[in-house]
Chain A
Amino acid sequence: MPRTLFDKIWHTHEVAESLLYIDLHLVHEVTSPQAFESLRLAGRRVRRPDRTLATADHNVPTDGSSVAAQIRDRLSRIQVETLERNCREFGVPLYSIGSERQGIVHVIGPELGVTQPGMTIVCGDSHTSTHGAFGALAFGIGTSEVEHVLATQSLQQRKPRSMRILYEGELGYGVTAKDLILGTIGRIGVDGGVGHVIEYAGPVIEGLPMEGRMTICNMTIEGGGRAGMIAPDDTAFAWIEGRTAATRKRSDRSAAEPPPLPLDDWRALHTDEGAEFDREVVIDASELSPQVTWGTTPGMVVEVNGTVPEPRGEGEERALQYMALAPGTAMQEIHLDRVFIGSCTNSRIGDLREAAEVVRGRRVASEVNAMVVPGSQQVKVQAEAEGLDEVFRAAGFDWRSAGCSMCLGMNPDIAAPGERVASTSNRNFEGRQGRGARSHLVSPQMAAAAAIEGHFVDIRDWEGE
């Protein structure tokens, strides 16, 4: 019987009915301390430290601090130090603040090559769906489940339903993966994917680089999806080839030649012709323009050349009030106080290159405070080797160290009440980037151009100064 990519991965990971084996467990400082503490109290160990990897990302300052002791916020410091102590005690490999491999958990997994096709991957973080870009089944879990995976390397799960979003047509000039996923969420709604694992397919998806695919899978959760995935292909294999984890295996630690990638197995990871999904959605990608959110959910989104819509119902009225926007206002007339380029959605080297191209030789508008936060220290080093930091700095951007930063403002990078932010992150919820802060989600290119002009512009016909 023809099977979906999701079916195939699910089936090979069932230890018993509704008990799913987990190949990789990613850990960070915010959702793990209570899990480790419970393990300790119960006298349990981490079953597979060699399938677990931790980093510090949510709380870390992006000011270049290189040890936890330098973190000024006492609670943040305690949380990072707690992670370090827990990882030492339980033998879990950790890239904490100061490590050259530290970074946002969903950036470093693929970057190190530990994220590979066909795996099951979990993390106490909703954006774990990012890793599905490599043809893995990856999803976020809560702290009780973090503890469960630490103790048993498995998870009790009812099989979710399956859904395919098939894109027809081509993306227009200046329209990015971010616009594709924002436009998709605008169409299916923020609960459109609830209970479903979503496979993204179609020529547009196949044509995207891994960065774009990760952006799309990353925001699956914003459409309610349990996980997002894309069938792995040569683009994915080329990404993995040569990365640290792909060159080593336990048995080959001393081998001179890295082991070959299991390409034959990986090529079988696709949805068979005729396989059935519980739900199918078809979207014409060619009708999409660059997108900007206007409200307080990622589904409240319009095209950049559109206007703030008339509210439909109380929720949207509340959103307009919070965002201090009037219906009918042209999106391009919305002026900004801050621009944030970063987050697990859009902070990879490809994202920074795209933004830098827009910024090169230009100046950030005088009233705008703009910052770039690379997703990982490796991204930062790479960007600096390419001179992107200089491009951003010369334009007036603040160039920071790696972390989640202003995506959720657990570190000192927060927007002030009433400030309006163009952000490449994933959530425009009330207060997300700072109490009373007003967030607009956009692509890196659109954020960069907005920083220069001080308001949103249509990147497709924008000439710059």
Chain B
Amino acid sequence: MRQLRVIEGAVSVLDRNDVDTDQIIPKQFLKRVERTGFGEFLFHDWAKEPGWELPSNPILASGRNFGCGSSREHAPWALEDYGFEAVVAPSFADIFYSNCTKIGLLPVVLAEPDVRELMAAGHARIDLEEQEIAFAGRQIEFEIDPETARRLLEGLDDIGVTLQQEAAIDRYEAERERAGPITTTL
């Protein structure tokens, strides 16, 4: 994964709450077996509505509970492929948030009034190392799990990191072979 530190640029606004992943990338596009090429189908149905405008910018600002519903990682893939590098919202659905951090699309949680101001400002600079977002002459700190931030900053491969603890996993398995069933013997 590439290292992520500063994201700066224009802000696209999608002022809706509970934007679900079925809207971000509808099911008919989940049939691909590749990770790429989802951007052109981003918000496929909504994009056909009159007055729809969502330019490809580094930052997307949206409403509460962004990314709810299906666990499809195709949603962050589509957002990233479309050009977004960060999504700012008052809250995110858990799985979506986690999926974003796994691919280097930065989810930023800000209080709702701050998101409103960001939408109005139209331009921002996000510094992950400082955990700070700056727009319209203001600087606001945001929270992110330190370990998640470290992985994003260093561009670490999660599996590689976990495999450094492979001995601990071996030990765990040796010490407590789970009581659960073995699927290969069914």
The answer on a CB contact under 8 Å between A15 and B165 is yes
Contacts of A253 in B (CB 8 A): 185
Instruction: Please report A residues at the B interface, Cβ cutoff 8 Å.
Output: 12, 15-16, 18-19, 21, 23-24, 30-31, 33-34, 37, 42, 44, 47, 49-53, 58-59, 73, 75-76, 78-79, 82, 91, 93, 101, 112-114, 116, 118-119, 124-126, 139-145, 147-148, 151-154, 156, 158, 160, 190-191, 194-195, 221, 224, 226, 244-246, 248-250, 253, 262, 265, 297, 314-315, 318, 408-410, 427, 429-432, 435
The answer on a CB contact under 8 Å between B23 and A145 is no
Contact for A151 among B17, B22, B159, CB less than 8 A: B159
The B172-186 residues at the A interface (CB cut-off 8 A) are 172-173, 176, 178-186
The answer on a CB contact under 8 Å between A244 and B186 is yes
Contacts of B23 in A (CB 8 A): 429-431
> Chain B's nearest CB lies how many Å from the CB of A139?
8
User: CA A408 – CA B25 in complex, angstroms?
Assistant: 13
User: CA A91 – CA B183 in complex, angstroms?
Assistant: 11
Contact for B169 among A153, A432, A435, CB less than 8 A: A153
**Chain B 69-84 per-residue mask, 1 if CB under 8 angstroms from chain A, else 0:** 1111110100000000
User: CA A28 – CA B31 in complex, angstroms?
Assistant: 12
User: CA A249 – CA B185 in complex, angstroms?
Assistant: 7
The answer on a CB contact under 8 Å between A116 and B181 is yes
The answer on a CB contact under 8 Å between B35 and A34 is yes
The answer on a CB contact under 8 Å between B91 and A59 is no
User: CA A49 – CA B184 in complex, angstroms?
Assistant: 7
> Chain A's nearest CB lies how many Å from the CB of B38?
11
Contacts of A160 in B (CB 8 A): 94
The answer on a CB contact under 8 Å between A427 and B69 is yes
**Minimal Cβ-Cβ distance residue in B for A251:** B182
User: CA A153 – CA B172 in complex, angstroms?
Assistant: 11
Shortest beta-carbon contacts, A-B, top 3: A144-B102, A142-B99, A75-B31
Contact for A119 among B93, B145, B176, B180, CB less than 8 A: B180
The answer on a CB contact under 8 Å between A16 and B168 is yes
The B97-155 residues at the A interface (CB cut-off 8 A) are 98-99, 102-103, 145, 147
Known: A50-B185, A156-B158, A410-B27. 4 other contacts (CB 8 A): A113-B181, A142-B95, A154-B162, A432-B27
User: CA A191 – CA B23 in complex, angstroms?
Assistant: 17
Given A144-B102, A429-B22, also A76-B31 (CB < 8 A): yes
User: CA A194 – CA B95 in complex, angstroms?
Assistant: 10
Given A194-B65, A226-B94, also A15-B178 (CB < 8 A): no
Taking each of B31, B147, B168, which has the highest tally of chain A beta carbons within 10 Å of its own beta carbon? B31
User: CA A24 – CA B28 in complex, angstroms?
Assistant: 28
The answer on a CB contact under 8 Å between A154 and B169 is yes
> Chain B's nearest CB lies how many Å from the CB of A425?
12
Given A142-B71, A142-B73, also A18-B147 (CB < 8 A): yes
> Chain B's nearest CB lies how many Å from the CB of A111?
11
The answer on a CB contact under 8 Å between A435 and B98 is no
Question: Is B40 interfacial (CB-CB < 8 Å)?
Answer: no
The answer on a CB contact under 8 Å between B163 and A250 is no
**Minimal Cβ-Cβ distance residue in A for B76:** A142
**Minimal Cβ-Cβ distance residue in A for B162:** A152
The answer on a CB contact under 8 Å between B65 and A79 is no
A to B CB contacts below 8 Å, 6 in the list: A34-B35, A73-B31, A144-B73, A152-B162, A431-B22, A431-B26
